[in-house]
A and B are shown apart, each in its own frame.
Chain A
Amino acid sequence: MTDSSAHDKIPDVYFFILILAGLWCLAIIAAPILSHLHYKASSGLIYYFFSDLCHQMPQRSISIFNKQLAVCSRCTGLYFGFLAGLISYPVFNPLRKAEVPHKLFLVISGIPISLDIALQLMGIWHNTEISRFITGFILGHTTAWYTIPGLCMIKWNKIFGSFYNEVEKLN
């Protein structure tokens, strides 16, 4: 794939990742809605899928129809923040330039969530659903700005070729 054709693929790659992230966030909300509509098996599958990624404690989760979302409020903030970051990135930065912010911003974005957790553990502060969601949202949003430029600039056909070569080495 030439560089010009790789650049042509950037919007496709971006929208593919955006749709994937959208479906991920949709699944988080869909779990309680499906349960409310009595689609227990589908709802159960979604909850089970996210059980490896989150503690799913109901007292620390946002609820819809008296049913908790598929992940806790902090994880909900992280994933929705990531989605928001994907949406906001091209508004402020052309995708074809693939500019990554200074590393300092990633460190700074991790401070609120670290403080929220640390102060809770030390008994100084009792975090709330809102604080967990917002601190997760900030980190998720910032993480998207560090990952989307790279993901869009990658020559994906080169990846699959290299992956095949690496797997061949194992045989």
Chain B
Amino acid sequence: MNSKPDKLVPAVIGGAIIGVLSGIPVINFINCFCCAGVILGGFFSVYFYEKNLVDTRLTYEDGVLLGLLAGIIGLVIATILEQIIGINPADFMQQAMQYAEDIPPEAQDFIRGLQENQGSLFILDIAIGLVTNIIFGIIGGVLGVAILGKKK
């Protein structure tokens, strides 16, 4: 009976890639290209999982699960990294608004409103990060299976 390898380690590796690409300033601009960093993390979680497969085939369920886990783990790692580096979302947004007149005024007003309650801003950032990391992590995982999986 063929048993599949553990998915946790490849998901953690993919999550680490997402976390580093999302949590470190300047590097995290890669996510401005439709969350390319998150998609890459999902893809690489499938890549490392596929390396451990012996007599079994890669399935789309594997890709979705790996992408989903990598996305969530990546969000946790990115959040921890931001705390270690000392990025305060409110301060960051304040500086961003000083230098980037490009931010739509509606978004600026929205951010100013949230800055008065940093807890709300943090929770909102986590919620948005969860949605985007799950969606794009799954896309990365499915793309990984489509590209790395062997045809019948």
A53 at the interface (CB under 8 A from B): yes
B102 at the interface (CB under 8 A from A): yes
A residues 65-119 in Cβ contact with B at 8 Å: 67-68, 75, 78-79, 100, 103, 106
B60 at the interface (CB under 8 A from A): yes
Interface size class of B (residues with CB under 8 A): 35 or more
Known: A68-B104, A103-B147, A162-B65. A169 touches B8 (CB 8 A): yes
Known: A51-B103, A51-B107. A163 touches B69 (CB 8 A): yes
B55 at the interface (CB under 8 A from A): no
Q: How far is the CB of A157 from chain B (nearest CB, A)?
A: 10
Q: Are B60 and A163 in contact (CB under 8 A)?
A: no
Return the contact of A166 from the options B69, B104, B147 (Cβ within 8 A). Answer: B69
Q: Are B142 and A150 in contact (CB under 8 A)?
A: yes
Return the contact of B61 from the options A54, A75, A154 (Cβ within 8 A). Answer: A154
Kindly name the residue among A68, A146, A154 whose own CB sees the greatest number of chain B CB atoms within 10 A: A154
The complex places the Cα of A169 from the Cα of B33 at a distance, in Å, of 33
The complex places the Cα of A59 from the Cα of B102 at a distance, in Å, of 8
> Count of chain A residues with Cβ under 8 Å from any Cβ of B?
43
Write out the residue numbers on chain B whose beta carbons fall within 8 Å of the beta carbon of A135.
none
Q: Give the dominant DSSP class at B's interface.
A: helix
Q: Are B146 and A159 in contact (CB under 8 A)?
A: no
Q: Are B132 and A100 in contact (CB under 8 A)?
A: no
Return the contact of B32 from the options A53, A100, A151, A169 (Cβ within 8 A). Answer: A53
Q: Are B145 and A150 in contact (CB under 8 A)?
A: yes
Q: Are B109 and A40 in contact (CB under 8 A)?
A: yes
Q: Mark A56-68, 1 if CB is under 8 A from B, else 0.
A: 1111000000011
Return the contact of A49 from the options B29, B128, B143, B145 (Cβ within 8 A). Answer: B128
The complex places the Cα of A78 from the Cα of B39 at a distance, in Å, of 14
Q: Are B147 and A106 in contact (CB under 8 A)?
A: yes
Q: Which residue of B lies closest to A57 (CB)?
A: B102
Q: Mark A114-150, 1 if CB is under 8 A from B, else 0.
A: 0000000000000000000000000000010011011
Known: A55-B32, A158-B61, A166-B7. A147 touches B106 (CB 8 A): no
Sample (25) of A-B pairs whose CB atoms are under 8 Å apart: A35-B106, A40-B106, A40-B110, A44-B108, A44-B109, A44-B111, A44-B113, A45-B110, A51-B103, A52-B128, A54-B32, A55-B29, A56-B103, A58-B102, A58-B104, A59-B102, A67-B104, A75-B33, A106-B146, A106-B147, A150-B146, A151-B142, A159-B61, A159-B64, A166-B69
Please give me the 6 A-B residue pairs with the lowest Cβ-Cβ distance, nearest first.
A44-B110, A47-B107, A150-B60, A44-B106, A43-B106, A146-B146
B-binding residues in A (CB < 8 A): 31, 35, 40-41, 43-45, 47-49, 51-59, 67-68, 75, 78-79, 100, 103, 106, 143, 146-147, 149-151, 153-155, 158-159, 162-163, 166, 169-170
